Amino acid sequence: MTRTLRWSMAAALAAGLSAGCTYYNAMWSAKRHASDARQLERRGQPADARARWAQAAARTKAWQTEDALVLRAEGLAYSGACRDAAALLTRVRASIQDWTRRERIDLAVVGPEVPLVAGLADRLAEGGITVFGPSARAAAIEGSKVFAKDLMRRHSIPTARFETFDDPGHARRYCRDLGAPLVVKADGLAAGKGAIVCESLEEADAAIADCMERKAFGVSGARVVVEEFMRGEEVSFFALANGHDAIALAAAQDHKTIFDGDRGPNTGGMGAFSPVGVFDEALEKRVKQLEGAREGVTT
């Protein structure tokens, strides 16, 4: 081996190692910013969290790997640039489709809400892959509170009294018609932080300002749902559905507020437990009967 070739190989190896170190440093930095953003969200500081999500997206800008693209899309979505995040996820979907075909993937389980709302499950299914996860149309129930509430109203599904607004003045007037306490919800994805319980009209005005004027949730807060506050136990009952049949699973309850005694801002969940004491056999039977009367549920 000639000296020139040895030096060329050494230079190539050094360049590869340097690029690898730069990449992992960038990803580590981006993940640190994402972690900081989640901590800020848990502390009830959405504006600061949004800025940190933007920094997380910026740290991955030079890299085109799937993990970098997905992290950048998450950062863009939660910092308010949802359209850019969707465009980025389109590239990710094509890359993942190629990878799943190459690796002969039989089943994909899609968990995060951002790629589900962007249609990742649809694209994988189009490629012939069995997917556990809702289609983009079904994920819209999670991706848009306005869509979800309108769906409930249209199909006479019991829900808290509400109205939707894209004008902050109209939203504030409805708050006075409804009276406190009430709940203000940002329409789009907000990492579980977009539902704000307001004990007074002053808190409601501030929540509307955060969502619609200060844009703490980016475009996710361009529209809001204002709804009555309902007291009582909140329970989630889970079922698997394919559009025709449903199989009931179990109930769970999560801790929403950040402080003990149900105090402080919602965090999207500080933990969860199952089974739930208040969800007894009689209540489970009642829920299944309601579901069965609507669609035909397999229990």
The CA distance from 209 to 155, in Å, is 31
Q: Assess whether pLDDT exceeds 50 at residue 3.
A: no
Q: What is the DSSP letter of 110?
A: -
Question: For 193-229, b where at least 16 C-beta lie within 10 A, e where not — what string?
Answer: bbbbbbeebebbbebbebbbeebbbbbbbbbbbbbee
Q: Is 192 left (phi over 0), alpha (psi -120 to 50) or beta?
A: left
The CA distance from 178 to 224, in Å, is 15
Q: Cis before residue 112, ω within 30 degrees of 0?
A: no
When pLDDT is averaged across residues 248-273 and rounded to a whole number, the result is 77
Span of 1-5, 37-41, 227-231 with lowest mean pLDDT: 1-5
Q: Assess whether pLDDT exceeds 90 at residue 159.
A: yes
Q: Say which residue, 140 or 184, is predicted with more confidence.
A: 184
Q: Assess whether pLDDT exceeds 50 at residue 236.
A: yes
* Residues of the chain above pLDDT 70, percent: 67
**Confidence label for 240 from pLDDT (cuts 50, 70 and 90):** confident
Q: What is the DSSP string of 241-291?
A: E-SS-EEEEEEEEE--EEETTTEEEE-S-S-EESS-TTS-HHHHHHHHHHH
The CA distance from 216 to 269, in Å, is 20
When pLDDT is averaged across residues 148-169 and rounded to a whole number, the result is 92
What is the widest separation between alpha-carbon atoms in the chain? 85
Task: Give the model's pLDDT for residue 24.
Answer: 44
The CA distance from 245 to 173, in Å, is 42
Average pLDDT, the chain: 76
Task: Give the model's pLDDT for residue 33.
Answer: 63
Is the model's pTM score more than 0.85?
no
Task: Give the model's pLDDT for residue 218.
Answer: 77
Task: Give the model's pLDDT for residue 172.
Answer: 96
The residues, ordered by sequence, that sit 6+ positions from 81 with a Cβ below 8 Å of its Cβ are 57, 218, 219
When pLDDT is averaged across residues 195-208 and rounded to a whole number, the result is 94
The angle subtended at Cα 230 by Cα 227 and Cα 232, nearest 5°, is 160
Task: Give the model's pLDDT for residue 219.
Answer: 75
Q: Say which residue, 19 or 286, is predicted with more confidence.
A: 286
pLDDT tens digits, residue range 101-128?
Answer: 777 888 888 887 877 887 788 878 888 8
Task: Give the model's pLDDT for residue 2.
Answer: 44
